[in-house]
Amino acid sequence: MTFDAEAKMQFLFALRSKGVTDSAVLQAMERVDRGDYIQGYFTERAYEDMPLPIACGQTISQPSVVGTMTQALQVGPRDKVLEVGTGSGYQAAILSQLARRVYTVDRHRRLVRAARTVFEAQGINNITVFTADGSHGLPDQAPFDRILVTAAAEDPPGPLLAQLKIGGIMVVPVGQSDAVQRLIRVTRHEGGFDYEELRPVRFVPLVEGLGKD
Ligand code: SAH
């Protein structure tokens, strides 16, 4: 299947029916072809609303979860965004349509290299990809207007909270890695942080240190 008019219509319909209604987010998801971020056998299922396996034992998230998280992040065209957990690069590509600049980090070199190759092939030039333990954030690029964590942490990591601008928003799945986690939206204001619980989600865990490959 290719991301033709018919596939797009069904894809967008599924997103809307699961609560992704923001028109800028829907437009971004219509522009980015999820099939470009999946290799091999599973490309056939690229436009179905399900997570799929990628290299290094990781997963590309379910499109409706990508849509919900992106919508909750309220990204504006002047924003500098940090994503922790590049994975396939799909979520970063969506963010790149909405933000001024996206920094994304993964602990697996192999995933970083593959994502970079796709961004280059697609002519996306406002994403910078790093191999790093993203739980420390990116001190050299901080502070950020928006931070999106796409792996589950037991608590929102302190360094990431510290790298959020006043008025900034972070969306992060929180909870034990082997359980259903809660998607949390953190908003930073002058006096501290507000926490809002959005919905249950299931993500691979945020793991310390760099991966072997
Ligand atoms: N956003 C991705 C899906 C992420 S899967 C997409 O659109 O495809 C979660 C990713 O988080 C995995 O690739 C995993 O390697 C990465 N990850 C886990 N712990 C990490 C850490 N401490 N720092 C950076 N990346 C991490």
Q: How far apart are CA 73 and CA 41, in angstroms?
A: 32
- Residue 206 falls inside a structural domain: no
Mean pLDDT of 197-213: 93
For the Cβ of 103 lying below 6 angstroms from any atom of ligand 1, the answer is: no
Rounded distance from Cα 46 to ligand 1 centre (Å): 19
Nearest CA to ligand 1 atom 10: 85
Residue 213 in domain = no
Q: Is residue 117 part of a domain?
A: yes
Pick from 164, 167, 170, 103: which is nearest to 134 by CA?
A: 103
Whether residue 209 is contained in a domain is answered as no
122-179 pLDDT tens trace: 999 999 999 999 999 999 999 999 999 999 999 999 999 999 999 999 999 999 878 8
Any domain includes 10: yes
Provide the domain count of the chain.
1
How far is the C-alpha of 69 from the C-alpha of 173, rounded, in Å? 10
106 within some domain: yes
Decide: 163 and 143 in contact? Cβ < 8 Å: yes
Ligand 1 atom with minimal separation from the 87 CA? 13
| Mean pLDDT of the 105-134 span | 98
Enzyme catalytic residues: 61
Alpha-carbon distance 54 to 39, whole Å? Answer: 7
Ligand 1 pocket, 137 CB below 6 A?
A: no
> What does the pLDDT average to over 9-23?
97
101 occurs within a structural domain:
yes
115 part of a folded domain: yes
Mutational pocket test of ligand 1: of 95, 138, 204, 208, the residue with most ligand atoms within 8 Å of the beta carbon: 204
Closest among 171, 198, 199 to 187, alpha carbons compared? 171
* Ligand 1 contacts CB of residue 61 (under 6 A): yes
CATH for 151: 3.40.50.150
Please give the mean pLDDT across all residues of the chain.
Answer: 96
Whether the full predicted model's pTM is greater than 0.95, yes or no, is yes
Residue 61 pLDDT grade (very low, low, confident, very high; cuts 50, 70, 90): very high
| Res 150: pLDDT | 97
Give pLDDT, residue 40. 86
Is the separation of the CB atoms in 115 and 89 below 8 Å?
Answer: yes
Query: Ligand 1 pocket check: which of 94, 131, 207, 208 to mutate, most ligand atoms within 8 Å of Cβ?
Result: 207
How far is 65 from 4, CA to CA, in rounded Å?
22
Give the domain range for residue 123: 5-201
